[in-house]
Amino acid sequence: MSEKHRETIVCPGCGAESSFTVYDSVDGSNVYLKEKVLDGSLFTFTCPSCGRKEQISYYMLYYDSGKRLMLSFLGGLDAGGPSPAAVFFREHGELLGQLDYIQRIVNDQNSLREKVMIFERGWDDRIVEVIKVTYQKKIAEEHPELKLDAIFYAQGKNKEDLLLFYSGGKVAAAIDLKQNDLYRRAVELYGPELPPLLADKTQGIDGAWAVAFLNKRP
């Protein structure tokens, strides 16, 4: 079950007060809400008075029991005091850690969206992070003029498996992982060195994790 509550938002544009729905948890089996996580509208406040749109980040637990997946989104955790959901998860974190779930902590909306898409795809986010770091190194060597802000996996309009390279807040390049069979090849190469997904209790799977993993390899 998805849990939600209402919060009062003061529009930074016109100062009008209005109500905004904050989702403490989202059940990923609810396709309607999952789409709203993916398109960002769950985190977008639209002022009913002046129409201004604002991004609102807040603590949210995204879970999908069918996929045994739990994503803790820590966006804006303590802004204006911790939410009831944040307090709950802080107090019960240890218990949750013992559950037989893939558990991840993400700090921004893009990472939340990316993880949802990776697990929807039935992929392993650890493999995706390793591929991303490999490309990051390659681009730094071959195109030192290109300053990369971030790399994200995303599904394209025709279900392509894309790696998007962001520079200056825009997509500067994209590659299709399917075309190059990159994902499968990376699974073959790195998969045997990783514990099964459900057995891996690492909550922070990101670029730093992938760099550490690659550095540990002989």
Q: Which residues in this chain contact Zn ion in the complex, by CB under 5 A?
A: 11, 13-14, 16, 47, 49-50, 52
For residue 175, give both structure tokens.
């590659």
Nearest approach in angstroms of CB 20 to Zn ion is: 12
CA-to-CA distance for 99 and 76, rounded, in angstroms?
25
| Dihedrals phi, psi of 27, to nearest 5 degrees | -90, 115
Nearest approach in angstroms of CB 11 to Zn ion is: 3
Nearest approach in angstroms of CB 130 to Zn ion is: 44
Q: Could you tell me which of 10, 28, 1 has the C-alpha nearest to residue 120?
A: 28
Nearest approach in angstroms of CB 16 to Zn ion is: 5
CA-to-CA distance for 58 and 108, rounded, in angstroms?
10
Q: Which residue lies nearer to Zn ion by CB, 16 or 146?
A: 16
Q: Which residue lies nearer to Zn ion by CB, 11 or 61?
A: 11
Q: Which residue lies nearer to Zn ion by CB, 47 or 210?
A: 47
Q: Which residue lies nearer to Zn ion by CB, 29 or 41?
A: 41
Residue 26's alpha-carbon distances to 3, 20, 137, in angstroms, are 7, 16, 35
Q: Name residue, tokens 């991004």.
A: 55
Strand partners, 123: none
Neighbours of 151 (CB within 10 A): 21
CA-to-CA distance for 149 and 172, rounded, in angstroms?
10
Q: Could you tell me which of 66, 85, 2, 83 has the C-alpha nearest to residue 37?
A: 2
Q: Is 104 helix (H, G, I), strand (E, B) or coil?
A: strand
Q: Which residue lies nearer to Zn ion by CB, 47 or 151?
A: 47
Nearest approach in angstroms of CB 50 to Zn ion is: 3
Nearest approach in angstroms of CB 21 to Zn ion is: 17
For residue 2, give both structure tokens.
């998805």
Q: Which residue lies nearer to Zn ion by CB, 46 or 65?
A: 46
